[in-house]
Amino acid sequence: MLKLTLLGTGAAGGVPLYGCECSACDRARRQPAFERKPSSAMIEWGRGSSKERLLIDAGLMDLHARFPAGTYNGFLLTHFHVDHVQGFFHLRWGNPPLIPVWCPDDPSGCADLLKHPGCLQFKPILRHGELFTVNGLRIVPLRMHHSRITFGFIFEFANKRYAYLTDTNGLPTSSMDILLSQEQLHAVVLDCSSVTAEDDANHGGLATANEIYKKLQPKEMIATHIGHELDAWFMKHGTPDWLEVGREGMEIR
């Protein structure tokens, strides 16, 4: 069994965006199912009654309530921007056994997290293209196009392969080469924050996502890190047939 669950699918400002009255923000205020929290996910794997779990990023502020101590193996951290680590600031002062956080080697960290990690055990071992395993789950970190050191991940277990690629505007050539060198992906979760994106932007747009879809041809292509303007565009124009719009709680099996 390999399952990827989207815990948050929003851009940094979330949906509804504070002070915005656009159609997407108005809908999200009226219908909580359309709210978007910081982009994050959970990967689960195992055979039979044995199930393992890693949390991807820590942008949610209620992690301590949603995931009791001992119910997961640790965290995979894509990067140290605030909307991906803010949930750590409360969690770290707990007193469970040390919680591993596999992360980029970014000595700047975020605020004083690395100086005062508390119960978090930061492991800056992620290296582009270098496979490592956690209790049988194969993980390959891939460099992303972002404003600081950022990784996406390929996950493989029991002949299933998913890619989780957020906080990136397109993909570096070396990351695309690795993705193309392996068998077809069952699912790709990709940063698609806006309708269009400038070349020097931190996040991708629809056209770039479509180019990646055409190259990789995954069985499922799912958008995440979605901003309110893109949600409003989907409401007006519909969703392209090659793309699925990510939602909080969506499960990819």
For 20-45, letters b (16+ CB in 10 Å) and e give: bebebbebbeeeeebbbbbbbbbbbb
**What is the per-residue pLDDT for 63?**
94
What's the pLDDT score for residue 48? 74
Tokens, residue 105: 């080697």
pLDDT of residue 182: 86
Dist CA 167 CA 178 (whole Å): 18
Hey, which residues does 140 pair with through a beta bridge?
A: 154
d(CA 162, CA 172): 18
pLDDT of 84 reads 98
Report domain 2-252's class: alpha beta
Strands of 187-191's sheet, edge to edge? 132-134, 137-143, 151-157, 160-165, 187-191, 221-224, 244-245
**Dihedral sign (CA 120, 74, 144, 136):** positive
Query: What is the C-alpha to C-alpha distance for residues 64 and 69, in angstroms, rounded to an integer?
Result: 8
pLDDT for the residue numbered 199: 74
pLDDT score, position 47: 83
pLDDT (0 to 100) of residue 51? 87
Alpha helices, H only, 45-186:
63-66, 82-85, 88-91, 173-180
Q: What is the mean pLDDT of each run of 10 residues along the chain (253 residues)?
A: 97 96 98 97 89 96 94 98 97 96 98 98 97 97 97 96 97 98 94 88 94 97 97 97 98 94
Per-domain boundaries in the chain = 2-252
β-bridge partners, 134: 137
